[in-house]
Amino acid sequence: MWSLFYTPLSAKDVLSEIQERGFIRLATNAEFEPFEYIDGSEIAGIDIDIAREIAKRMGVGLEITDVKFDSLPAELVGGNCDFVLAGMNYSEEKDRNVDFSQPYFDAKQVVIVRKDNNSINSENDLHGKRIGVHLGTTGDLYCTEKFKDSEVLRLPNGTIAMLELLSGRADAVVIDNLPAKNLVAKNAGAVRILDESLFEEHYRAVVAEGSDLVYYLDSILSELKSDGTIDRITDKYASESPEFGSGFLNLIYRSLIYKDRYKSIFEGLYNTLRITCGAMVLGAIIGSIIAFIKLSKSKRLYMKVLDVLASIYLTVIRGTPLVVQLFVIYYLIFVSTSLSKVAVATIAFGINSGAYLGVVLQSGILSVDSGQYEAARSLGLSSKDAMIKVVFPQALKNIIATLCNEFINLIKETSVAGFIGIMDLSRAGDIIRTQTLDPFVPLLTVALIYLIIVAIVSCIVDIFERRLRRSDMR
């Protein structure tokens, strides 16, 4: 059900690589219940159980990566995973870049409407309406193509699409039938599925183009189909639909406590703090180097070259979106690395932050009267000592509020890390939201945590600033 636009690497002997490694790497997007979703703090779902069966029958372990669905093709093409199970369909366009297995599951695209809506009863009624779809799915492609006179709302996942439907901002939701069943079960009484489905599709496993893994997957998948394993797994997930009472306390219980969902929040908080602090340190180092280069009056050629490079760095980093920088660093620069995702994200955010900190530091140093540096030098201090002991402490006092701002921005910007599948604080909230269909408790919880972090940081900076300003008291 995904569309892919990436160019493949050359073919290789993936199978023996997996055997040698001892585990097979699956990439998926855990926002597609019941095929793949976060259950508590674990990824679960039909595709995940199928992947486990595949790994078992191959006699190897299974490693699962959860990324934003936009990133799945890049994971395959970049060689970060061996195969993708994410409810994908065959299409000619996609076939140029990746290879597909035989189908392992047959699905239909269905239409969900509110119960009180009697104006939509067939596909034709969708013309001129507001249709919620899951961005990048076949449902999205189909509706965008077919209903040009309608407003197609391309949303990040099916749950959000449902929220749009429930709140009346969308008239219908087009989505795969099995997730539709779960979504409707969670909102029993409010919505219904139209009898007429839009079209049928066949989910297939996907591998990098030319990978020999595809033949192996074909044989295992047909085995799983013929011995009833896939049916068993599907039945298991279709029947899971716990009942909750209504009311605010129940909502909190469902959002935070049931199935240990708070654990996602803690994991997200831990990652957010790790990335932010690491990036701030790295950014400070890079920023200092940049400020040093920009402020140097040296006429030597290599300093002039560095100055040009620093200017290019500042322009590129400050002139492009952070999420693009993260993608480039993760998928192009650190494509084959043993570094963890969190480490790569920290590097990416650090590089980004370095540009902003560099400019702040530069202006802070320029704000200190040149007589201070001269006085220090006239006493025989080296330029390094003069900067560290005389200029920098005064510059710091002038820029500390801006630095605090930068840190606060960084904390919140780390939410972009979710795009490469890191469970940060925002993504933890997103995932709980897709599970419970209630946007408010997880969102407000996450917001409250951000607020508390920022309040603590501001408080610490305040104390520090007051100490720096001691010398200003008359």
Partner 1 sequence: MICVKDLHKKFKTDSGVINVLNGITTNIKKGEKIAIIGPSGSGKSTFLRCLNRLEEPTSGEIIFDGKALNDSARSVNEIRRHIGMVFQHFNLFPHLTVRQNITLAPVTLKIKSQEEADDEAETLLERVGLLGKADVYPIKLSGGQKQRVAIVRALAMNPELMLFDEPTSALDPEMIGEVLAVMRDLAQGGMTMVVVTHEMSFAREVATRVLFMEGGKIVADEPPEDLFNCSQNSRVQEFLSKIL
Q: Kindly list the residues in this chain that would bind partner 1 in the complex (CB under 8 A).
A: 369, 371-372, 374-383, 385, 389-390, 393-394, 397, 468, 470-474
Cα(292)–Cα(301) distance, integer angstroms: 16
Taking the complex as a whole, how short is the minimal distance between the CB of residue 470 and partner 1, in angstroms? 7
Beta-carbon count within 10 A of 164 CB: 18
Taking the complex as a whole, how short is the minimal distance between the CB of residue 397 and partner 1, in angstroms? 7
Burial class from Cβ neighbours inside 10 Å (0-12, 13-18, 19+) for residue 2 reads buried
Q: Judged by CB, which is closer to partner 1: 148, or 474?
A: 474
Cα(138)–Cα(295) distance, integer angstroms: 54
Taking the complex as a whole, how short is the minimal distance between the CB of residue 394 and partner 1, in angstroms? 5
Burial class from Cβ neighbours inside 10 Å (0-12, 13-18, 19+) for residue 48 reads buried
Q: Judged by CB, which is closer to partner 1: 234, or 296?
A: 296
Taking the complex as a whole, how short is the minimal distance between the CB of residue 16 and partner 1, in angstroms? 60
The answer to whether the CB of 444 falls within 8 A of the CB of 425 is no
Q: Judged by CB, which is closer to partner 1: 148, or 470?
A: 470
Q: Judged by CB, which is closer to partner 1: 396, or 454?
A: 396
Cα(222)–Cα(226) distance, integer angstroms: 6
Q: Judged by CB, which is closer to partner 1: 188, or 388?
A: 388
Q: Judged by CB, which is closer to partner 1: 148, or 297?
A: 297
Which residue in the block uniquely carries the two structure tokens 């219980």?
253
Cα(245)–Cα(234) distance, integer angstroms: 27
Query: Shortest CA distance to 178 belongs to which of 50, 44, 33, 37?
Result: 33
Q: What is the DSSP letter of 209?
A: T
Q: Judged by CB, which is closer to partner 1: 309, or 463?
A: 463
Taking the complex as a whole, how short is the minimal distance between the CB of residue 472 and partner 1, in angstroms? 6
H or E element at residue 379 = none
**Which residue spans within 356-399 are E strands per DSSP?**
none
Q: Judged by CB, which is closer to partner 1: 340, or 378?
A: 378
Which residue in the block uniquely carries the two structure tokens 């904390």?
411
Which residue in the block uniquely carries the two structure tokens 């920009």?
294
The answer to whether the CB of 172 falls within 8 A of the CB of 111 is yes
* Length, in residues, of the chain: 474
138 Cβ contact partners less than 8 Å away, ≥ 6 residues apart: 1, 89, 91, 109, 201
Taking the complex as a whole, how short is the minimal distance between the CB of residue 458 and partner 1, in angstroms? 23
Computed on alpha carbons and rounded to an integer, the radius of gyration of the chain in Å comes to 27
Q: What is the DSSP letter of 388?
A: I
**Which residue spans within 353-415 are E strands per DSSP?**
none
Taking the complex as a whole, how short is the minimal distance between the CB of residue 373 and partner 1, in angstroms? 9
The answer to whether the CB of 362 falls within 8 A of the CB of 295 is yes
Q: Judged by CB, which is closer to partner 1: 291, or 386?
A: 386
Taking the complex as a whole, how short is the minimal distance between the CB of residue 464 and partner 1, in angstroms? 13
Taking the complex as a whole, how short is the minimal distance between the CB of residue 167 and partner 1, in angstroms? 56
Taking the complex as a whole, how short is the minimal distance between the CB of residue 465 and partner 1, in angstroms? 13
340 - beta bridge partners? none
Taking the complex as a whole, how short is the minimal distance between the CB of residue 360 and partner 1, in angstroms? 19
Q: Judged by CB, which is closer to partner 1: 323, or 366?
A: 366
Q: Judged by CB, which is closer to partner 1: 336, or 471?
A: 471
Cα(329)–Cα(78) distance, integer angstroms: 12
